[in-house]
Structure 1
Amino acid sequence: MRLAIIASVETMLKKWKGQVGKEIEVFHEFKLLTSEVISRTAFGSSYLEGEKIFEMLNKLSIVLSRNLSNTGIPLFVKLQKPSDMLEAEELAKGIQDSVSKIVKTREDKVVKGEADNFGIDFLGLLINAYHDTDENNKLSLEDLVDECKTFYFAGQDTVNSLLAWMVLLLASHGDWQEKARREVMEIFGNQYPNSEGLSKLKIVSKLSNPFSTLYIPGI
Structure 2
Amino acid sequence: MPAPDRPAGTGRLLTGIAWAVLLLGLWLWGRESTGGVSAPTTGDVAAVGRPLGTQLPPAHEPLAGATPQRVEIPSIGVAAPVVRRALDGEGAIEPPPFDTPDTVGWYAAGTEPGTRGAALFVGHVDTETEPAVFYGLSTAQPGEKIRVSRSDGTVAEFTIDDVQVFTRKRFDAEKAYGPRQDGRAELRLITCGGTYDRASHAYTANVVVSAYLTGERSGGKSRV
Structure 2 length-normalised TM: 0.24
- Quick check: which has more Rg, 1 or 2? 1
TM-score, normalising length: structure 1: 0.25
User: Higher relative CO (CA 8 A, sep ≥ 6), structure 1 or 2?
Assistant: 2
